[in-house]
Structure 1
Amino acid sequence: MTKILLIRHGETAWNAVRRLQGHTDIPLSPTGERQAQALARALAKEPLDAIISSDLGRAVQTAQAVAALHPQVPLHTDAGLRERGYGAFEGLLYTEIAERYPIEFAEWQARDVDAVMPAGERVAESFRQFYQRCQDGIARWAEKYPQQNIMIVAHGGVLECAYRAANGLTLDGPRDFAIRNATVNRFRMDAGVLAMESWGEAIHLDGALDEML
């Protein structure tokens, strides 16, 4: 069995205004940086054998904050843990997507798991393709660190896939669970089966908010 802390990166400026990021490499905002530091403090005494991050900057920045307090723990990056590729949708506000691509936007909102966004500068993936990529990525690192404790820093979509897998949810059902930036979500992988132990631990972020006031 491998124990997995699964973390969504800290907030970015695009998160705050609902501008779709996907594979676009956006750094943490000042709020996101504070969240990452609060997360690091919360996990300072957490036993970790490896830290793995998506190779996108917002995830790497978050992982580096935690790694700074675990100097003996290796930090890996993995492009397979990136957010879903949204093609031409990337860089647009949700309202702009609806205006420019009404048919494709409707398919996306209806959770058509095999629909693919229009081609753009970056790759476009169906949700089914993305889900499989996420499951493969998480399983690969769990197999690399059997009976150990790892932290994976990734993206909201990656966490959604893990939540669905661990709770036996279909891919086309509504996302009726919150995925907050920089919260702690605990899973375990046992014989290739992902199970969830806790979701959305956020007490450390309340303290980070107090510091901002």
Structure 2
Amino acid sequence: MKSIAIYLVRHGETYFNVFGYFQGWSDTPLTSKGIQQATGTGQQLSGQTFALAFSSDVGRAIQTGQIIAQQFQQKAPVITPLLREHFYGSFEGQEITRTWQKIAGQHRCQNYSDLVQTYSVDKAQDFLSQADPTNLAESSQQFWLRFNQGLELIFKQAVSGAQVLLISHSSVIRALVAKYAPTLLTQLTPANAAVTKLVLTGEVEIQMLQVCYYNRAVD
């Protein structure tokens, strides 16, 4: 039975994070604080040995991965669109709180947190997808179909016992923890550059995903 450990890192703080806007497949660069966060996470993880490193192909994740990789003096992560954040369609660049309040209200909820507690993280994404007038925002099913391909790509390339670094996004991490370890989701949005550890187990394909810990922030 093959088993690999994935250290899943959210990208550092960006300008859209500061503004409170949806990013998804859109992008803004890391702030100076975000660069410091990525550097700190790299230092925190410097005692680990990573056989492979992967990243979403969105700029903020690539930038974070490059900064962290410098701490290990290794090659920058392999990038792939399979590991991107959810796509928010016409809501990209829109204010997060106001958008979720409107969508939540359509389902007799007050806000995103209320929506997730009443339904689920995946169902909330479905509600957003259904509310997008362009019909471009990803449904949870579309997201999982894409992202699971990314996890399988990592699993197939890594040897058993390997540790893998993965740079990703808040909505990805939230969806993973909500699905596989919901009791750990005490904070809906992981901190920028925080670390979540996964263990993937299986023969040829992934058969089990375990969340060892969630949202370990760098001081």
TM over 0.5: same fold?
yes
1:114 pairs with 2:126: yes
| C-alpha distance in structure 2 between counterparts of 1:79 and 1:105, whole Å | 32
Counting matched residue pairs gives 196
Alignment match, 1:157: 171
Task: In structure 2, give the amino acid aligned to 1:124.
Answer: A
Deviation at 1:128, TM superposition (A): 2.8
Q: Provide the identity percentage.
A: 28
- Contact 1:11-1:31 at 8 Å conserved across structures: yes
* Residues 1:194 and 2:202 aligned together: no
Counterpart selection for 1:77 from 72, 76, 79: 79
Letter in 2 for 1:7: V
Aligned twin of 1:27: 29
TM-score normalised per structure 2? 0.79
Per-residue CA deviations over 1:33-89 (Å, capped at 9, x if unaligned) read: 110111111112211011101011111111101111223456200111111100110
In structure 1, give the amino acid aligned to 2:13: E
Deviates more, 1:1-10 or 1:140-149: 140-149
Partner residue in 1 for 2:6: 4
Query: Conserved in 1, the CA contact under 8 Å of 2:82 and 2:150?
Result: yes
Distance in 1, matches of 2:159 and 2:60, equals 27
Secondary structure, in 3 states, of the residue corresponding to 1:196? strand
RMSD of the alignment, in Å? 2.6
Alpha-carbon distance between aligned partners in 2 of 1:91 and 1:187, rounded to the nearest angstrom: 30
Shift of 1:103: 5.3
Q: Could you tell me how far apart the structure 1 residues matched to 2:53 and 2:23 are?
A: 23
Query: Shift of residue 118 of structure 1?
Result: 2.0
SS in 2 for 1:68: helix
Q: What is the distance in 1 between the residues matched to 2:136 and 2:212?
A: 33
Residues 160/135 of structure 1: CA separation in 2 closer, same or farther (3 Å cut): farther
Contact 2:196 2:213 in 1 (8 A): yes
2:141 corresponds to: 128
Unpaired segments ≥5 residues, structure 1: 207-213
Give, in angstroms, the shift of residue 9 of structure 1. Answer: 0.4
Give, in angstroms, the shift of residue 28 of structure 1: 0.6
> d(CA) in 1 for partners of 2:106 and 2:186?
18
CA contact (8 A) 1:36 1:65 kept: yes
The question of whether the paired residues in 2 share the 8 Å contact of 1:5 and 1:151 is answered with yes
Equivalent residue letter for 2:23: Q
Give unmatched runs, 5+ long, in structure 2: 116-122
Residue 176 (structure 1) shift: 4.5
* TM-score for the superposition, normalised by structure 1: 0.81
User: What residue is the counterpart of 2:118 in the other structure?
Assistant: none
State the alpha-carbon separation in 1 of the partners of residues 103 and 126 from structure 2.
Answer: 14
The answer to whether the 8 A contact 1:50-1:73 is kept is no
Determine if contact 2:20/2:97 at 8 Å carries over to the other structure.
no
Give the Cα separation in 1 of the matches to 2:85 and 2:194. 17
Q: Identify which of 58, 61, 70 aligns with 2:60.
A: 58
- Measure, in 1, the Cα distance between the counterparts of 2:174 and 2:38: 20
